[in-house]
Amino acid sequence: MKKKLYVPHPGHFEGLAQLLASSKDIYSIYMAGSPDYIGTGRVNLGHASLEEIAKHTQYCHNKGVKIEMVLNSSCMGGQQLTTEGYNLLHWYLSNLEDIGVDTVVVADPYLVEMLDQEFNIPSVVSVLAFVDSPQKAEFYEQLGASSIVVDSNVNRHFDVLEAIKDAVDCELKLLVNEGCLYRCPFRYAHFNFFSHVNGPPPRPNVQDDYYYYKCLTMRINDPSLIIKSPFIRPEDLEEYAHITDVFKIGGRSHLLNWILNCVDAYANESYDGNLMDLMDCPKDLIDLFNIPNKALDGAIQQWKTHSTVCHTCGYCQRLSDKVTQMYSRMGTPDEKLEQWTTLTKKGIDTL
Amino acid sequence: MTLDNLLKTRANMEERIRQLIGRAAMVIELDLFALPCGCSGYTANTRGLALDDLEVFEEHFLKQLKESAEAVGVSPGFVFARIIPGTQEIAALNVRELCPRCYSDFAATSGKRPRPDIYIFHLVKRKR
C-alpha cells in the first residue's frame, strides 16, 4: 500500500541525519519546539530553538522530507487568551512561518482558527483534540483545519471512521502505535499534566507520574488491556486504505533504533517480533510481556465488526490469555518466558 | 558486590514478590545509592504493587527485603515503601542505612505512616 508515514524526530540533529539516511520511507518528520512558548502534550528528547528548527527544516527539505511542528498542548492555563499570550503565540508562529515548516499540529480550537486567519501554515488538529465523531471533524474543518489526527480511541470503530471520512474533505491521519488504554480514564488529566510539564513555566516538579504508574499497574494486572488498546498493527494498514493513506508513528521519547524499527515495520506492513517493540507507550512493559505480533494475525476481522462492550464480548480477553507470555528473571542467565496464565493459575505462595 | 549479583537480586526480588501476591509485578529498577548526608542503601522501583499487598503480606515483604539487603551488602536498619500520597500505588521499596541526622528525623516519629508518602516496615531504634 502506498502511504505517507509521519515519523518522530529523534531529538538531535545527528539523529535526524541518521534517520533520514537509514530510511527512504519517511514522508514527514514531526517535532516539538521550545516549551517556553507553546507546550506539547508529550515528552520529547530535545527542545529545539528557532535556530535549530530552521536548520532541521532546511535539512529535511533538502532530503525531500516535510517537517511538522507539534504544538499540541492540551492546556495552556488560559494564557493563550491574554494579550501577552496572543502576542507571544503570534510571534512564535510568525517565526515558524518564516522558517518554512510545512504544517503545525495544535490541540486548541483557538489556535486552529488563528493559524487559518493569520498565517500561511496548514494546521493539523492533534489527536489531543479528541476528534471521535463526524460532527467534531466538521467543526474543525470549518474552523480551517487542513488535516485531522483522529482520536485513536476510534481506530477500530470503522463505522465512525467511515462517517468522519464522509463528513469532511480534509486529510485524515491515524496514529498507529500510541498503545494507550482504550477509553483511558486518565487521558485528559494526563495530557494536561504533560502539557504543563512540557510547556511554559511555571512547570510542576513532580517525582512520580501517578497516571503512568496507574496505567502500568492496570496492564500488569490485566494484559488484555494491551490487546484492547486501539493500536493498528503494521499488517492491518491495508484495512484502513479506504479511510486514509496517512499514518503517524508515535515515539518522541524513543531513540533512533527504536524509531527505525517502527518505520521499517509500518513501511513493510509486517513485523515478526514482540508487539510491545512497536508500542510508543507504555515503554516499561517491554520487560514484562511478550505478545508475538504475528499471533494477532486476523484479529482485525473481529475488531472490524466487534462489540465495544468488552464484558459481553470477551474476544480480546480470550486472545490475550492465549498469546500473552511473561518474562521472568530477566537480565540473568535463568531468564525465561512463560504463558501469562501460568502465573495467575499458580496461586499464592506465602514463602 | 558484583553487577551480576545486583541483576540476580533484582530478578529474585521480582520473582518472590510475584509468588507472594499471586500475580505479576515488576521491579523495574534496583539501585544502590549513597547520599551526601551519609545515608546509603538500595531502592527497588516497583510497578503493579499496591499498599494493600504490603499491609496483607507485611512480614513476608520485610523478610524478602532483608534478604535482598543482605545479598547486596546493605544493613537493613530502616525498611520502608514509598507511596504516591493519597493512593494505593507503591513507587518503591527501600532499605536504608540512616545517617545520624536522618535517623534522628525518623526516630522522632511514630506509627507506620510518618509522612503521606512513606510506609515503614521496620526501623531499628538505637539505644540512648
Min distance B16 CA to chain A CA atoms (Å): 8
Task: Compare all CA atoms of chain B with the CA of A209 and give the residue at the minimum distance.
Answer: B84
Task: Compare all CA atoms of chain B with the CA of A343 and give the residue at the minimum distance.
Answer: B23
- Considering CB atoms only, which of A207, A287, A351 is closest to B63? A351
Q: In this complex, is the C-beta atom of A326 within 8 Å of any C-beta atom belonging to chain B?
A: yes
Q: Name the β-bridge partners of B94.
A: B43, B80
CA atoms within 13 A on the CB side of A116: 17
Q: In this complex, is the C-beta atom of A284 within 8 Å of any C-beta atom belonging to chain B?
A: yes
pTM: 0.94
Q: Report which of A101, A100, A275, A88 is spatially closest to residue A176, judged by C-alpha positions.
A: A275
Size of interface A-B (CB pairs under 8 A): 81
Q: Is A264 exposed, middle or buried (0-12, 13-18, 19+ CB in 10 A)?
A: middle
Min distance A263 CA to chain B CA atoms (Å): 27
Section B1-6 average pLDDT? 91
pLDDT at B119: 97
Window 4-23 of B, Cβ < 8 Å to A: 4, 7-8, 10-11, 14-16, 18-23
Q: Name the β-bridge partners of B83.
A: B90
Q: Looking at this predicted complex, what is its ipTM?
A: 0.91
Single-letter residue type at B95? V
Tens-place pLDDT, residues A152-164: 999 999 999 999 9
CA–CA gap between residue B96 and residue B42 (Å, rounded): 6
- Considering CB atoms only, which of B23, B28, B64 is closest to A221? B23
Single-letter residue type at A110? Y
Q: In this complex, is the C-beta atom of A188 within 8 Å of any C-beta atom belonging to chain B?
A: no
Section A225-242 average pLDDT? 97
Residue B33 pLDDT > 50: yes
Subunit contact B24:A343, Cβ cutoff 8 A? yes
Subunit contact A287:B26, Cβ cutoff 8 A? yes
Enter the DSSP assignment of A203: P
CA atoms within 13 A on the CB side of A97: 15
Tens-place pLDDT, residues A313-344: 999 999 999 999 999 999 999 999 999 888 76
Single-letter residue type at A173? K
